[in-house]
Structure 1
Amino acid sequence: MKRALLVGLFLFFGLVGHAHEIRPAYLQIVQIEQNTYQAYWKIPSMGEAAPKLRLVFTGNPKVTPLQAPQSLNNSIIFRYQLEFPDDLRGQNLYIEGLSNTLIDALVRVEYLNEETVVFMLQPDNDQIIIPGESSSWEVIKTYTILGVEHILFGIDHLLFVLALIIITVGFKKIVKTITAFTLAHSITLSMAVLGYANLPGPPVETVIALSIVFLALEIIKNINGEATLTSRKPWLVAFTFGLLHGFGFAGALMDIGLPQSDIPLALAFFNIGVELGQIAFVLVVLGLIYLLKKFKGWSPAMQKVPAYLIGGVAAYWVIDRVLGFWA
């Protein structure tokens, strides 16, 4: 049983070590003349490898590339000029190849009259008739889903929460700790997106990885009987590092973009989506911890295994992200 558990943990965290956050594809279409638009099409990639996704409009526009495809920040970026014979409103947009992926596609259309349309296409819903304006419900649905997906595929954020739960004893204390983390990252996420504060992405991502290494060390010390700052005041550690994690969330959200006419609404429901995903993760972890405590062979030595794996993965991220400064 012990061997099976260890093998399972190593396999899981081995996959995590190679995992990348799954970001959505992003299509921005900006009207520049009556039937002429400029399109910015960003497809997530791993190095030079990217899924084959093609935009198909029923209006059969004339497509003129504005630049050669560019590789930037794990994405392939295309820029086009689209000339339609008729109005874009009411046309069908289909993303060919999306159904063969696990990727969502956020679409934003900006018209000359300053109306903005925001909607999301998904593998099981890969086409839509382009509306003339967005409803508040569409903004709420789109950014809630984006928030949930961001936290559930943001492996570094999840490992930080996992480490916090492992080191925090007592349900009430866990609730207080997770609440402090939520409050902190909500503050910096909002400040960064609204333009009141900002930090460069690469250093933030590196320090986020360091925060996970720190918690892994705290877990080991705690198992060895040492009183640590995190075991005494986990809410303080959660709040402090949560401020940095908020900047990480903000970087992803600003990459995606916000509808200019509904920034507060989109920001609020992205945050709500993050919290819903986080709550789901916490409940699953608490359930697993409860089951492990029922397992008689779960000795202090075994309890160190998750900490070593969490710390090892995070240390790899630190090195990889530091080396990325000079890439």
Structure 2
Amino acid sequence: MIRLLLVLLMTLLASAAHADELRPGYLEFTQKSEHEWALVWKSPMRGGFTPATSPVLPKACAIKSVTSRAITGASVTTNSIVHCNGDVAGQSIGLEKFDTAQSDVLARVAPLGRPVQALRLTPAEPMAEIRMRPNRWQVASTYFIIGVEHILFGYDHLLFVVCLVLLLNGLWTIAKAATAFTLAHSITLIGTTLGFLGLPQRPVEAIIALSIMFLAIEIMKKDPNKPRLSERLPWLVAFVFGLLHGFGFAGALNEIGLPESDVPTALLTFNLGVEAGQLLVVGVSLATLAALQRMGEAGAARVVKIVTYAIGSISAYWLVERTIG
């Protein structure tokens, strides 16, 4: 168990600098004029992607020139100018040599004068049709899955939820704290995405790391005879930090944009996806704690202590990295 936790610690530290980014690859196809399009291909350097994994454009389109190629974080980003003869509606866009990948790719297609489309590419279905007008089910399913993936692979949000489970006792108490966290991050997510609220992303990410470190310290100082503020008013603590995490969710969502014709649908389903992922994390955490406790209270307490130290170390690293950059 200790070795497993150490492996988890090293894995999370390796991806610490970009803990709040969306993990899938990213393909953006934006129309600039009648015949000219801009292509951005962000290929992760891990997850089974290879240099041979490359965009497949509609039949009427061809790459005219590559304007830049750079390593950004853990991805290689290539910008190209594409020339297209005719309309791309009804044609397909996707990736070739994608079958070895272990992650999805989000394709964003933005034609002039028509709604932006968000398409999800997978190794099983590497091509997707560009429609004249995206239907609501396409938008809903795409953004729901993005929301689930973001809570599961946005490690800072995931660790915050795990800390809530480790800190609090009782399903009802955890449920109230999780509901407060949900309500709070929904407020700032929607407000920021619609342009009513806004904070610089770097300070937000640093404070999110601080929120995780705060909960880790609270877990270590937990005393049944002297409940701390986070135990007496867990919903308040979860709500305050949830407001900040909402800015983080909004920053990730802004990376991919929203389809103009279905903003409410995209926002709602992304948020529902986040909640589905959050409930999954809570359920797995509670089940794991229950299994450990059946093996003995002393052993369970020792594992919780190790996990808490690991989470505290990771969040401290994130705080320093995001502060000094």
Taking structure 1 as the reference length, the TM-score comes to 0.89
Structure 1 window deviating more from structure 2 (220-229 vs 189-198): it is 220-229
Q: SS of the residue aligned with 1:100?
A: coil
Q: Say whether the 8 Å CA contact 1:67–1:79 is kept in structure 2.
A: yes
Between Structure 1 and Structure 2, how many residues are aligned?
318
Mapped partners of 2:74, 2:314: distance in 1: 20
Mapped partners of 1:119, 1:290: distance in 2: 39
Deviations along 1:106-164, one digit per CA (max 9) or x if unpaired, are 22223333243332111221112322221100000100000000000011111111111
Q: Say whether the 8 Å CA contact 2:115–2:259 is kept in structure 1.
A: no
Structure 1 window deviating more from structure 2 (178-187 vs 118-127): it is 118-127
User: Which of 1 and 2 has higher RCO (CA within 8 Å, sep 6+)?
Assistant: 2
Distance 1:114 1:290, change over 3 A: same
Deviations along 1:217-253, one digit per CA (max 9) or x if unpaired, are 1111114854211111111111111111111111110
1:13 aligns with 2:14: no
Distance 1:207 1:32, change over 3 A: closer
Mapped partners of 1:23, 1:85: distance in 2: 33
Distance 1:116 1:312, change over 3 A: closer
- Cα drift, residue 12 of structure 1: 2.5
Which amino acid in the other structure matches residue 8 of structure 1?
L
Distance 1:40 1:302, change over 3 A: closer
CA RMSD of aligned residues (A): 2.3
1:24 maps to: 24
- Give structure 2 stretches of 5+ with no counterpart: none
Which amino acid in the other structure matches residue 318 of structure 2?
W
- Cα drift, residue 276 of structure 1: 0.4
Distance 1:39 1:287, change over 3 A: same
- Cα drift, residue 191 of structure 1: 0.9
Structure 1 window deviating more from structure 2 (136-145 vs 59-68): it is 59-68
Mapped partners of 2:33, 2:2: distance in 1: 61
Mapped partners of 1:155, 1:246: distance in 2: 14
Mapped partners of 1:300, 1:105: distance in 2: 40
Mapped partners of 2:202, 2:299: distance in 1: 38
Which amino acid in the other structure matches residue 317 of structure 1?
W
1:282 maps to: 282
Mapped partners of 1:126, 1:229: distance in 2: 50
- Give structure 1 stretches of 5+ with no counterpart: none
- Percent same amino acid at aligned positions? 40
For residues 1-327 of structure 1, the aligned pairs below 5 Å read 5-19=1-15, 21=19, 22-45=22-45, 51-52=50-51, 53-59=53-59, 61-65=61-65, 67-72=67-72, 74-223=74-223, 225-296=225-296, 297-298=298-299, 300-324=301-325
Q: Say whether the 8 Å CA contact 1:117–1:132 is kept in structure 2.
A: no
Mapped partners of 1:300, 1:62: distance in 2: 60
